[in-house]
Every structure is written in C-alpha cells, then in structure tokens.
Amino acid sequence: MAPRNPVNHACPIRDVLDRVGDAWSVLVLSELAKGPCRFNALLRVVNGISQRMLSVTLRTLERDGMVSRRVLPLAPPQVEYALTDLGQSLFASLSALKDWATAHQPSVRAARSSYDARMAQPSAAA
C-alpha cells in the first residue's frame, strides 16, 4: 500500500494518503465508525470488497493502530473489529476533506465537462 516508489520523502501527507488512498480503507473505516463489526458483517456491508481485500485492509489498519481486533472465545469463533481512538481521530480529519469534496463537487464536475468539451473540438483557437 505504501511503497509505490522509492521516493517517499518523509512527507506526512504522502504517508497518510498511502494509508488512506486505496479503494477500501476509507470504506472500512467509515463502516467501523458506526460501531464495532465482525468480519463477515463487514464483508456484506462494504459492498464489492472481496474477502481477500477485506482481510488485507483490516490487517493494515490494525497494524497502523487504527483498528482493534478482539477475538471472542466462542464456539463459532467471532472476531470483532472496532476503531481505536487513533482511527477515530483519523476519520474525523478525513471529514474536512469530505466537506471540501461535498462543497466543490459541482465545480469539479463543471471543470471536467468544460475540459472535455474543449478537447472534443479541435478548432479551439479562433
């Protein structure tokens, strides 16, 4: 997830984005933000995630201290995942970005349409 290229600076932004930029982490994070959850429950609710990716994602999040893993000693083994304080604070910080996205989505959409339209017309300079 992290070592995309050898030039990873000590840049804190890249550090977070490597942790959060992938397709699933944020989804899992936001599910767990609603409350603790078990593996298969996450699998069902995260919509489209594969068993493998859920497993990988959870392990990474756990390793980074965002998620806690509690094994219930029961007949059918149960494992409960939950956000740690650290994970909750990260999720909170992400909301700033979410707010930006929500606020500016129209602008971005407009920019895109405009760009696509401009590119479609070879006769731009007239």
List 41, 86, 92, 110, residue binding DNA (CB under 7 A): 41
Provide CB contacts within 8 A for 27, sequence distance 6+: 46, 47, 49
Q: Please, are residues 38 and 80 in contact by the beta-carbon 8 Å criterion?
A: yes
Neighbours of 29 (CB within 10 A): 21
Residue 32 touches a second copy, criterion: CB under 8 A = no
List the single partner that 122 binds among DNA, a second copy, none, CB under 5 to 8 Å by kind: none
Nearer to DNA, 75 or 103 (CB): 75
* Distance separating alpha carbons of residues 67 and 60, to the nearest angstrom: 9
40 part of the interface to DNA, by CB under 7 A? yes
The closest alpha carbon to 20, from 109, 106, 108, 92, belongs to: 92
Give the one residue of 12, 35, 77, 122 binding DNA; rule: CB under 7 A.
77
Range in contact with a second copy (rule: CB under 8 A) among 31-39, 75-83, 105-113: 105-113
Which of DNA, a second copy, none has residue 40 at its interface (CB below 5 to 8 Å by kind)? DNA
Strand (E) or helix (H) holding 17? helix 12-20
Q: Does 122 bind a second copy (CB under 8 A)?
A: no
Cβ closest to DNA, residue 41 vs residue 97: 41
| Residue 37 burial (CB count, 10 A) | 20
**Is residue 44 near a second copy by the rule CB under 8 A?**
no
- Using the contact rule CB under 8 A, the part of the chain among 5-13, 35-43, 75-83 near a second copy is 5-13
71 forms bridges with which residues in the sheet? 79
